Amino acid sequence: MSTIQVHDKFFIPYLSEEKIIEKVKQLAERINSDYKDKRPLFISILNGSFMFSADLFKFLTIESEICFIKLASYKGTKSSGQVITAIGLDTDIHGRDIIILEDIIDTGKTLSQFLPQVFNQQPASLKIAVLLHKPEATVHPVDIDYTCFSIPNKFVLGYGLDYNGLGRNLSQLYQLKEE
C-alpha cells in the first residue's frame, strides 16, 4: 500500500480491504439477526454505495430485496450544498421494512433532504446503514442505526467513493494526503 495520485491530488492508504470486509460482514450478521423474521427492502444510494451494497449482500442470509437510487451532493472534494436526485425511488415502500445503504455521511444534508420523501411513503420501519460516518462534519443530524466506521473529517477515496469520477474501483480506502 503506497501513495497514489488521482487527478491532481495524492492519497495515502487509510483502511485495508480486509478491515472493510470484516466490518461489512459484522454488519451483515447484525442485520441477519435483527431482521431474521422479516424481508427488508434495501435502498442503495448510488454511486458511492455500490461496492458496500454488493459486499453486504454477499453476507446476508435473510430474504431481502434491493433497489437503487441516485442522489448526489459532491463536486471535487467538497459538498456542493445542493442535493441532486438523478434517479428516483420507483419501488412501493408503503408498509415495508426499509434499510437505506449509504457509503458516507458527512454533513448529513443528502439524507436529511431525502428522508422526508421516504417517510411520506409510510414504510413500516426505516433504518440507515452506512459504511463511513464523519461525526465532526455533521451539520444535519441523521439517526444512523448501523455504522461500519466513524472517521475524521478528511476526504477519502476508494471502495466506491470517488474524486471527480475516479477511484471508485479501488478495493481499499485512501485518505487525502495533507500538503
| CATH number of the domain residue 159 falls in | 3.40.50.2020
Expressed as residue numbers, the domain containing 128 is 4-176
Question: What secondary structure does DSSP assign to 94-135, as a single string?
Answer: TT-EEEEEEEEESS-HHHHHHHHHHHTT--SEEEEEEEEE-G
Query: What is the pTM assigned to this prediction?
Result: 0.91
Give residue-wise pLDDT tens across range 1-29.
589 999 999 999 999 999 999 999 999 99
92 is known as an active-site residue:
no
Number of domains, the chain = 1
Q: Return the pLDDT at 89.
A: 78
Report the alpha-carbon angle 57-60-61, nearest 5: 140
* Interstrand relation of 156-157 and 146-150 (parallel, antiparallel or unpaired): unpaired
- Catalytic position from the list 55, 97, 103, 106: 106
